[in-house]
Amino acid sequence: MRYSLFSLLGKTLSGHRSWPPLWRDAAPKPRYDVIIVGGGGHGLATAYYLASRYGVRDVAVLEKGWIGGGNVGRNTTIIRSNYLLPGNIPLYELSMQLWEGLEQDFNFNAMISQRGVLNLYHSDAQRDAYARRGNAMRIHGVDAELLDCDGVRKLYPFLNFDAARFPIKGGLLQPRGGTARHDAVAWGFARGASDHGADVVQNCEVTGISISDGRITGVETNRGAIAAKKVGIAVAGSSSRVAAMAGMRLPIESHVLQAFVSEGLKPVIPGVITFGAGHFYISQSDKGGLVFGGDIDGYNSYAQRGNLPTVEDVCEGGMALMPSIGRARMLRSWGGLVDMTMDGSPIIDRAPTDGLYLNAGWCYGGFKATPGSGLAFAHLIARDEPHAAATRLRLDRFARGDLIDEKGQGAQPNLH
């Protein structure tokens, strides 16, 4: 059903007892045109755009657990497109533009809030680096504003401007950046995909990928074999495991990234702030909790939980940036598995097997890319050619030396 003021009024009169489930809890059919492995944000977005924009409706999304249980519900909800390199900016900006019209497009309230993302700088060298990044963004049509110290003070007077070690000299602001309610993004895409005819299948773990004469024929699952003409893998965190079923080794390590939320507070932080002298980013949810995070733990991990040194490091970053949060109690923390690639940038490409497609390597930039990644992956699967915004996110770029290394760290995944 379509949500509107009238549907709300109608259901109000009937006591809100007849709201249908958001999406059909489908059982898998024996065959599909396209199977998407992984019912996370990217997989659901891919199915949604395949069905709504490319007319491919015979699609199944196979999810091992439940919708919203993976990274799409474990991130810090930030959306932005403040990247530096030409290989990355178009995809993230495509995503940003899709975020801006997403709620009307899929008829669901994802609480998208363009409250501005501010990256602070603390030295002259860092200011120059951010000026360069801002210029790169503006060349690509992305909004960017370089603020001096007074400019930041007007926005966030409570920051620790005169700290002896890391005084705040200014910041790079992307006013269109902000936050989105991550669960609603998953639910909205699942509902949209389901309404357009795609099957969203939960509790269905892919255990094998069937290949015959170099061509994909389907997948094996814990609920039986399912045939398919094309299979897309969108299982960031576990990409190496699933790709291994098709005989691939990937330029990826799996790492754990933690996120944190404080007890609910009255409104205190209007936008998203990132600390430039450590790795710390924070925003406040509409419910009042401060949502924050920092670096990955830094070692290969398939455990959706991290260790205490990283918790301490993140909290120290927060205290250096805005000592006032020291009075707030941390309520919860959790971890999500991320695909760390060898250059810190994602992969949306065909796999060497005909009919197999790979969407992986999102490092910790996956959530903001959800709609753009879904659209680009849907385009690749439907048309068999890369989307214009994702032409350089190729699997073979490592062998060709055409890396997209935003931080210039080289092939050391835990540093990206």
Angle between helices 370-383 and 182-195 (to 10 degrees): 30
Q: Which helix (H) or strand (E) holds 186?
A: helix 182-195
- Of 2, 154, 165, 249, the one binding another protein (CB under 8 A) is 249
- Of 71, 221, 240, 262, the one binding another protein (CB under 8 A) is 240
Residue type, 281: Y
The span of 43-51, 81-89, 221-229, 299-307 binding another protein (CB under 8 A) equals 299-307
Sorted by sequence, the CB contacts under 8 Å of residue 369 that are 6+ apart come out as 42, 91, 92, 95, 346, 362
What 3-state DSSP class applies to 53? helix
Instruction: For the beta carbon of residue 8, count every other beta carbon within 10 angstroms.
Output: 12
- Residue 343 sits at the vertex; the CA angle it makes with 338 and 348, to the nearest 5 degrees, is 70
C-alpha–C-alpha distance, residues 108 and 77, integer Å: 17
Residue type, 240: S
The span of 63-71, 159-167, 271-279, 296-304 binding another protein (CB under 8 A) equals 296-304
- Of 301, 333, 345, 373, the one binding another protein (CB under 8 A) is 301
Smallest distance, another protein to C-beta of residue 205, A: 14
- Of 9, 27, 164, 399, the one binding another protein (CB under 8 A) is 399
Compute the Cα dihedral for 67, 73, 77, 79 and give only its sign. Answer: negative
**53 or 279: whose CB is closer to another protein?**
279
**109 or 300: whose CB is closer to another protein?**
300
Give me 313's structure tokens. 């490091």
- Of 155, 398, 405, 409, the one binding another protein (CB under 8 A) is 398
DSSP category for residue 224: E
**164 or 308: whose CB is closer to another protein?**
308
What 3-state DSSP class applies to 195? helix
**168 or 348: whose CB is closer to another protein?**
348
Smallest distance, another protein to C-beta of residue 241, A: 6
Q: Which helix (H) or strand (E) holds 172?
A: strand 170-174
- Of 1, 8, 303, 388, the one binding another protein (CB under 8 A) is 303
The span of 50-58, 91-99, 244-252, 382-390 binding another protein (CB under 8 A) equals 244-252
**128 or 396: whose CB is closer to another protein?**
396
Is 38 within 8 Å of 200 (Cβ atoms)? no
Nearest to 82 by CA among 155, 169, 153, 178: 178
Sorted by sequence, the CB contacts under 8 Å of residue 158 that are 6+ apart come out as 268, 322, 324
The span of 12-20, 105-113, 247-255, 353-361 binding another protein (CB under 8 A) equals 247-255
Smallest distance, another protein to C-beta of residue 356, A: 18
- Of 7, 123, 203, 412, the one binding another protein (CB under 8 A) is 412
**178 or 317: whose CB is closer to another protein?**
317
Interface with another protein, residue 402, by CB under 8 A: no
**268 or 320: whose CB is closer to another protein?**
320
Interface with another protein, residue 294, by CB under 8 A: no
Interface with another protein, residue 241, by CB under 8 A: yes
Please, which of residues 306-365 interact with another protein by CB under 8 A? 307, 309, 312, 342
Interface with another protein, residue 413, by CB under 8 A: yes
Compute the Cα dihedral for 187, 189, 194, 196 and give only its sign. Answer: positive
Compute the Cα dihedral for 76, 196, 47, 99 and give only its sign. Answer: negative
Q: Number of residues in contact with another protein, rule: CB under 8 A? A: 24
Nearest to 179 by CA among 286, 331, 279: 286
Task: Give the residues lining the site for another protein (CB under 8 A).
Answer: 240-241, 249-254, 298-303, 307, 309, 312, 342, 398-399, 411-414
